[in-house]
Structure 1
Amino acid sequence: MPLSTPGERDAPVPPDDAGVSFVMPVLNEQRYLRRAVASTLAQDVPGPVELVVALGPSTDGTDALARELADADDRIVLIENPAADIPVGLNRAIRASRYPTIVRVDAHSELASGYARRALRTLARVQAANVGGVMRADGRSPFQRAVARAYNSRVGLGGGAYHGGTEEGPAESAYLGVMRRAVLDEVGLFDESIRRGEDWELNLRIRRAGYRVWFDPRLEAVYWPRESWTRLVRQFRATGAWRGELVRRYGRGNSLRYFAPPALVGAAAVSAVTAGVQLGRRRRGRSWVLHLPVAGYALLIALVALGRGGGRGWRDKAWTAAVLPSMHVSWGLGFVWALVRGARDTVDTSRLDGRNTPLP
C-alpha cells in the first residue's frame, strides 16, 4: 500500500504504461553524449519512451553527434537551447515532452540498468513527486579518479544522501530526479534565474507545496567529473557562487553543510592575517590558536589522502590531497563573493571551450 505522511500531499500516479520522457540538456558533450544516450535508451520501462535533448551552442561537434544519434533512433527528439543555461534547457525539454513522468539525465552521467523502472515503482509506492538516488562518481584519468574519490567521500562534498546514503526516506533534494509532470506544472518548472542549484530550489518548492521528495539508495547513476584542474575550479567556483545566492534568497532553508567551505575560507583569511601580524612581532602570545582551524583542516586532508580514501599509490594520494582543497576553497570563495554581491551573471565556464576528444 502507498505510504502516507501526515500533512503531506500524494502526487498523482499515472498508469504504469503511460510513458516516460527523459530530458537531457547538452553543451560540449561530444566525449560523453553517446554513452549517456545509450544508457538512457537501454532503460526497460513499460509504455512509450522518448529522450528530449536540449542542444546548447556547442563547439566540439556535439550537435553533429546528436543528429547522428537521432537519425538512428526515432525516440530521440532534438530541440534548441540557445541560452545554454541548464534550467532553460530543462524547461524547454520538459515543455516539448509528451509523457506524465519526467526523468532528468545529465550528459555526464550513465544510468544503471533498471534505474527508471525501479524509480517508477518507488514513485508509485510512496506517491512522491520526485525521487532520486545515488551519484557514483568515476574517472578514467588519475586526476578524474581523484575528483571521483572526492565526490564519493563525506569529506569531499559534505556527506549528502545522494553521495552515498544507504537509508531510504524523505529527502531535501534529489540527484537528477524522476518527477511527476503534473506536480511540475503545478509548482512551476525550473527557475531560469538560477544557473546552478536549480534542482535544490525546485525541490524546495515541491516540498513547500506539500509533496514528498524521496531518496532511494537502490537508484544509481555514474557521474564523470571534470577532466582538468582548471575546469574543476571553474565549476566549483560557479557552484559555490550560486549556493551563496540561494542562501541570500532562502536563508535557513539551506543545510548547514553548505557553510563549511566558506568557513574554511574565513579561517584561512584569519590565519593569513595573523601570520602577517606575527612576523612583525617578537612575542606572539596566544595568537597561534588562530591557526588551529587551518592546521586541523590540513591534517584532515592528509589523513584522507594517506588513507584508503586517497587511492592506491602515491600518485593517487597526491592528486587526492590536491583535489580536495581545490574543490573546497574554490567553492567557498564563490560562496563568499555571491553572499556579499549576489551571483549575478556567474556562469559555469568549465564546459564552454569544447576541447574534448571522443572516449574509446
Structure 2
Amino acid sequence: MNQLSKYVSLIVPCRNEVNYIPFIIKNILEQNYPKELIEVFIIDGLSDDGTVEYIQKFVHKYNFIKFLNNPYKVVPYALNIGIKNAKGDIIIRLDAHAEYPKNYISTLVNYLEKLNADNVGGVWETVPSVNTHKAKSIAIALSSPFGVGDATYRLASSDVEYIEVDTVPFGCYRRDVFDRIGLFDEQLTRNQDNEFNERLRKAGGKIYLIPSLKIKYYARENYSKLYKMFFQYGYFGPLVDLKLKKPTRLRRYIPTAFVLSLIMPLLLSLLFYPFLYLWVFTVSLYLIASVTFGTYECRKRDSVQLVPYVMWAYFVSHVSYGLGYLKGVFDFMILKKHLKSKLDVELSR
C-alpha cells in the first residue's frame, strides 16, 4: 500500500485552550496529506473558556473534524477515548501548544513505513509563548542539556536522517501497536507517553526520531507554571517505575539526587558540622555549571542579559522535578496511593 493511501486518525487532547486551538486547527487544515484520508478527534476536558464553542464552528464546517468530550479532563483519558473511536491505520497524537509544519503528517507516515517502525516523531524546538524575559529564559533552559539532560527529542540536530530513541514527543503509531500492548495508562496524568513507549520497546517495538522534522513547542510563560509542570513530571516518575517494574532513563533521577544533595548535608550538619562544607561544595558546583551553561546558551542567541533568568529557570525545573519525585516515592512506593483510589491531578496549563 502506498504510504499516502494510509488512513490517518489525529487525536488532539485539550482543556481551556481557546488561545491555542485556532492555531492547531489551522495547522491541520494546511497539511499536505490528502484530507479525504484524515479524521481529526478534538477531545475536550470540560473546557469553560470558550474552547468548545470555537471547535464547534469547525466541526460544522469540516466533516473530518470531530468533537468528543473527556469527562475525566486529563490527557491519558483523552488519548484512549480518541484511540477507541479512531478508524485510522495510523494514529497521531497532536498537542494544542505546538505548531507543526505543513508536511508533518506526510513525513511521519513516510518514515513509519520506510523504517518499518512502530512509533516515529519529530524534534521539539522550544519557543517562548510570550515576549518576556521569563518566557524566553524558560524556552532556553528547556533547550539546553543542563536543563533537560540527554532528552534527544529536545536536543537533536539535523545531521542524521533518523535516530532510534526511547521516546518521541506526541507520537505517530501504527494502529496495531494498541492491539498488541494496550492503551495509555490512565493513572499517569504525566509521563503516560514515557511509560507507553517503554512498554512498546519491551515488546520489541521500534521508535525513531526524525531530526529534520521540527515542531515548535510553546513553553510555560512563567516560573510558577514551570514549577508545577516539572513537579508533576517528577511526581509520576516513581509510578512509572513501579508499573514497568524497573528504573527508566538516568536523566530522570538526576534532579532528585540534586535535591537530596541540598537537603541531606544541611540536616547532617546539625549532627556533624563539617557536612556543611559538603553543602557549600554542592551549591558552588551547581552555580558554576549553571553560569557556564546559561552563558553559553544565551551567547548563542545574542541574549546575554537573560543569563540570570535562565539560571533561575534551571533551578526551578531541577528542584521542582526532584521534589515531585520524592513526593511520588512517598505516595506510591510507601503509601501505595495508586492502589487505593483514583488519582485526581489536573494538568499545569
Give CA-to-partner distance per residue, 1:197-246, whole Å, 9 cap, x none: 11111112222222211122122211111222222211111111011221
Aligned residue in 2 for 1:176: 170
Q: TM-score, normalised by structure 1?
A: 0.86
Contact 1:247 1:339 in 2 (8 A): no
Count of aligned pairs: 334
In structure 1, stretches of 5+ residues that fail to align are 1-12, 279-283, 352-360
Instruction: Quote the offset at 1:58 in angstroms.
Output: 1.3
104, 110, 129: which is aligned to 1:121? 110
Structure 2 residue corresponding to 1:152, chosen from 124, 143, 163: 143
Counterpart amino acid of 2:141?
Answer: A
Question: 1:141 is matched with which residue?
Answer: 131
Distance 1:272 1:101, change over 3 A: same
Amino acid at match of 1:37: I
1:324 Cα shift? 1.0
| 1:29 and 2:29 are equivalent in the alignment | no
For 1:159, give the aligned amino acid: D
Contact 2:256 2:323 in 1 (8 A): yes
Change in 2 beyond 3 A, CA 1:88/1:232:
same
Give the 3 Å change call, closer, same or farther, for CA 285–25 of structure 1 in structure 2: closer
- Out of 135, 152, 163, the residue aligned to residue 154 of structure 2 is 163
In the alignment, which residue of structure 2 is the partner of 1:102?
91
After the TM superposition, list the runs of 4 or more consecutive aligned residues in structure 1 that deviate by more than 6 angstroms. none
The CA RMSD over aligned residues, in Å, is: 2.1
What is the alpha-carbon distance in structure 1 between the residues aligned to residue 29 and residue 90 of structure 2?
15
2:183, 2:321 → 1: CA distance?
Answer: 26
**1:301 partnered with 2:295:** no
Aligned to 1:326: 316
Q: By how many angstroms is 1:41 displaced?
A: 2.6
Per-residue displacement from partner, 1:300-343 (whole Å, max 9, x unpaired)?
Answer: 11222233337544652222121111011011100011022227
For residue 72 of structure 1, the aligned residue among 43, 56, 61 is 61
Deviation string 1:113-137 (CA, Å, 9 cap, x unpaired) is 3121111111111111111121111
| Secondary structure of 1:227's aligned partner | coil
1:206 matched residue in structure 2: 200
Secondary structure of 1:28's counterpart equals coil
Provide closer, same or farther for how the CA distance between residues 75 and 285 of structure 1 changes in structure 2, counting only shifts above 3 A.
Answer: closer
Q: Tell me the distance in 1 between the aligned counterparts of 2:276 and 2:86.
A: 61
SS in 2 for 1:221: strand
The equivalent residue for 1:350 is: 348
Q: Which moved more, 1:39-48 or 1:72-81?
A: 39-48
Q: Percent identity?
A: 25
1:241 to 188, 212, 235: 235
Task: Provide the residue aligned with 1:191 in structure 2.
Answer: 185
- 1:61 aligns with one of 50, 60, 73: 50
Counterpart-to-counterpart distance in 1, 2:8 and 2:200: 20
TM-score, normalised to structure 2, is 0.89
**Alpha-carbon offset, residue 153 of structure 1:** 0.8
Match of 1:16 in 2: 4
What SS does structure 2 have at the residue aligned with 1:263? helix
- 1:238-279, Cα deviation, whole Å (9 max, x unpaired): 11101122123335440111111001100110243356567x
